[in-house]
Copies of this chain bind each other. A is one copy, B any other.
Amino acid sequence: MYISTFTRRLNTLFKLNESYKKYSVIAAVLKKPTVGKVTEIKGWVKNLRKQKDLIFADVSDGSCAQKLQIVIPKALATNSLTYGSSVHITDGYPFNPRTTHPPEYTRQYLHLRTRTNYMAAILRVRSSLTKHIHDYYTLKKYTNINTPILTSNDSEGAGEVFKLQPDNEETVKAMMQENKDRDSVYFGSKTFLTVSGQLHLEAACRGMGDVYTLGPTFRAENSRSRLHLSEFYMLEAELAFCKTIEQLQLAIEELIKYIFVNIRNTNEADLFLIDKKNVSPTWIDKQFITITYDEARQILQKKGTNVADEGINKEQELTLVEHCDGVPVFVIKWPKDMKSFYMKECEEDKTKVDALDLLTPITGEVVGGSLREDDYKKLKLKLPSEKLNWYLELRKFGNIPTGGYGLGLERLLQVLCNVHNIKDTIPFPRWPHNCDM
């Protein structure tokens, strides 16, 4: 008998290296997964369970103790399939009709997963989200500035970075100069992938007024959490002549509500498909809440959890949102030591900076922002590297007060669509050991 199509159960490894045989042995299939290779297996059915639409067959070919579980849509199986049958199975389309596949399963087929209804709906929402963002900033007369992806500034504490160099050895040799290492040979200095466009955006802001950027950013962290990617999108904006943290808060709240209201108009069917219960979040008509960092710490203490020196952790962020009945909450007035060098001191408390985090359900922090230190002398004392002299010099001529924020696009999508894992909000997610195509 011949079964032309099968699907594999969640977490079943199946991918295979090329072999001298025309078909593969199960031991090899289980050992070396490779995406996009054709797999062929010959063996015997050792166990068979029939459900409404699917047949689960455990197949062994004698190559190892493990059996390979094959999931067969009933319509495609012959009636003669039974315990002990010999079978010849070839690889096929991995998705079943009338089935919602778990995201962990479809993630194994990145090149095919836009064909699933769930993923297509999320990606349509993502596309609309991007469009609404550009519409919002056009309405508000911001200029869209493409900040650079390649930069000689390292992250200054914003996280771990990727460095890059030409892959071609000939190019490296041709460009090699005295006193330069391989990392510096192409650009003349060590070059990294950006972790934020903020500093460059501040330069543009002092020439062109309100500006924003929406593009990819990168972290070389060894994290596989449901909230982290190695490549993700940040929306960053810098507001000219911004003097108070309240101005910044109003701008962020307006942006997020604009997006949520418009997405409900343009993508209602998609939102319904993704999660029936989530189409209208309960907080959409409520004002966002504001608490200070000190208040947040007290709230958490009363709930029996202490804030560490590094700051409020993810679990604590979600506790704070729950404490606010699921309404997004701004945490403001942060201890100086917890935040970046460029943030402005609070006027009434020099131990604090005028920074904010916006916390939401599902993801916790989704926006971070601050007023920027616009005092040349104060900034000079805090500047972490000579490489940032250009950033200091922005304050030397035609200086203005500015403030800005960065919003994680994928995290906002998680909130918007109630998606548990960030890897399901971007077409081709990249995380440690996962950059397959």
Chain A residues close to B by CB (< 8 Å): 18, 34-37, 92-93, 110-116, 119-120, 123-124, 126-127, 130-131, 134, 138, 143-154, 160-168, 171, 174-175, 186-193, 199-200, 203-204, 206-208, 215-216, 218, 220-222, 230-231, 233, 386, 389-394, 396-398, 426-428, 430, 432-437
Q: What is the chain B residue whose CB lies nearest that of A148?
A: B428
B427/A186 in contact, CB under 8 A: no
Rounded to whole Å, the gap between the CB of A31 and the closest CB of chain B is 14
Closest residue on chain B to residue A119 by CB atoms: B207
Q: Is there an interface contact between B433 and A147, defined as CB atoms closer than 8 Å?
A: no
**A200–B160 contact, CB under 8 A?**
no
- Asked whether, in the complex, the Cβ of A127 is within 8 Å of the Cβ of B115, the reply is no
Question: What's the minimum C-beta distance from A299 to chain B, rounded to whole angstroms?
Answer: 35
Q: Which one of B36, B115, B144 contacts A398 once the chains associate, using CB atoms below 8 Å?
A: B115
Partner of A427, one of B115, B145, B154, B216: B145
Interchain CB contact (< 8 A) of A188 among B111, B222, B434 = B434
Q: A115-B207, A150-B430 are in contact. List 5 more A-B contacts (CB 8 A).
A: A92-B397, A164-B193, A187-B434, A200-B427, A215-B216
Q: Are B175 and A167 in contact (CB under 8 A)?
A: no
Within 8 Å CB of A430, what residues of B? 148, 150, 187
A151 shortest CB reach to chain B, Å: 7
**In the complex the two chains form, is B433's CB within 8 Å of A206's CB?**
no
**In the bound complex, what is the Cα–Cα distance between A426 and B200 (angstroms)?**
13
Partner of A168 from the list B145, B153, B160, B435 (CB cut-off 8 Å) is B160
Given A114-B207, A165-B163, A207-B120: A393 touches B220 (CB 8 Å cut-off) = no
Chain B residues in 8 Å Cβ range of A171: 160, 220-222
How far does the alpha carbon of A347 sit from the alpha carbon of B388 in the complex, in Å?
A: 58
A34, A165, A428, A436: most-surrounded residue (chain B CB, <10 A): A428
Q: Complex formed: what's the CA distance from A132 to B187 in Å?
A: 33
Do B390 and A111 touch (CB < 8 A)? yes
* Bound-complex Cα distance A386 to B34 (A): 10
Q: For A436, what are the chain B residues with a Cβ–Cβ distance below 8 Å?
A: 152, 189, 390
Query: Which residues of B sit under 8 angstroms from A391, Cβ to Cβ?
Result: 36, 111, 437
Give the residues in chain B near A396, CB-CB below 8 Å.
Answer: 93
CA distance in complex: A181, B24 (Å) = 29
User: What chain B residues lie within 8 Å of A398 (beta carbons)?
Assistant: 93, 115
* Selected contact of A432 from candidates B115, B163, B175, CB within 8 Å: B175
Could you say which residues of chain B place their CB within 8 Å of the CB of A206? 114-115
With a cutoff of 8 Å between Cβ atoms, the chain B residues found around residue A134 in the complex are: 130-131, 134
Min C-beta distance of A277 to chain B, whole Å: 25
Could you tell me if B230 and A150 are in contact, using CB atoms closer than 8 angstroms? yes
What are 8 inter-chain pairs, A to B, with CB distance below 8 A? A36-B392, A111-B390, A123-B208, A152-B436, A161-B167, A171-B220, A171-B221, A187-B433
**Docked-complex contact B149 and A216, CB < 8 angstroms:** yes
| Given A167-B192, A187-B433, residue A200 in contact with residue B428 (CB < 8 A) | yes
Chain B residue contacts of A207, Cβ below 8 A: 112-116, 119-120
Q: How far is the CA of A143 from the CA of B37 in the complex (A)?
A: 28
Residues of B within 8 A of A397 (CB): 92-93, 112, 115
Q: Which residue of B lies closest to A392 (CB)?
A: B36
Which B residues are in CB contact (< 8 Å) with A110?
A: 203, 390
For residue A17, give the distance in angstroms from its CB to the closest CB of chain B. Answer: 9
Q: Are B113 and A127 in contact (CB under 8 A)?
A: no
Shortest Cβ distance from residue A32 to the other chain B in the assembled complex, whole angstroms:
12
